[in-house]
Amino acid sequence: MKSYRKELHFHFPVRRGLENITRKVQSAIDESGIKEGLVLVNAMNITAAVFINDDESGLHHDYEVWLEKLAPEKPYSQYAHNGFEDNADAHLKRTVMGREVVCAITNGKLDFGTWEQIFYYEFDGKRDKRVLIKIIGE
Ligand code: ZN
């Protein structure tokens, strides 16, 4: 069995935002040379998420509205976590959207349904963040 590890680096200029990272994950699979196996993609920061869904701007807006209802950013004082930080909402939003995804690799490609795409979702930007890609297989 072979394994391959790669990190993606992010620095969003705004507090929240989405990026489709499907091509970056496929590039890592290409680099690995692995044709049959699994790829794990996880956020390495606890205020960002990795998830799979549709690359459709209306849906992305809906996520933002929905998550703001569940865990509004402001007022910061509503959260016990917000003493030295102001990012309690970011921790909660990340918990809802998820830490990681695991995808099948078949014949060297992500074995996806028609509309499946992998996204990085930043909830507390303006600083350096990382995503881990770990691939195992042969
Ligand atoms: Zn925090």
Q: 135 C-alpha to center of ligand 1: Å?
A: 29
**What's the CATH number where 56 sits?**
2.60.120.460
Q: What is the pTM of this model?
A: 0.96
Q: 5 C-alpha to center of ligand 1: Å?
A: 27
* Mean pLDDT by groups of 10 residues along the chain of 138 residues: 98 98 98 98 98 98 98 98 96 98 98 98 98 98
Per the structure, the count of domains in the chain is 1
Residue spans of alpha helices (H) in the chain? 22-32, 57-70, 88-97
Q: 91 C-alpha to center of ligand 1: Å?
A: 6
Q: 94 C-alpha to center of ligand 1: Å?
A: 11
Q: List pLDDT tens digits, range 81-115.
A: 999 999 999 999 999 999 999 999 999 999 999 99
Q: For residue 101, what pLDDT is reported?
A: 98
Q: 95 C-alpha to center of ligand 1: Å?
A: 12
Cα–Cα dist 92/47, whole Å: 8
Phi–psi pair at 58, nearest 5 degrees:
-60, -45
Q: For residue 109, what pLDDT is reported?
A: 98
Q: Kind of pairing, strands 109-110 and 2-10?
A: unpaired
Q: 44 C-alpha to center of ligand 1: Å?
A: 14
Q: 10 C-alpha to center of ligand 1: Å?
A: 18
Domain extent at residue 114? 2-137
Q: 19 C-alpha to center of ligand 1: Å?
A: 22
- Count, in order, helices (H) and strands (E) of the chain: 3, 8
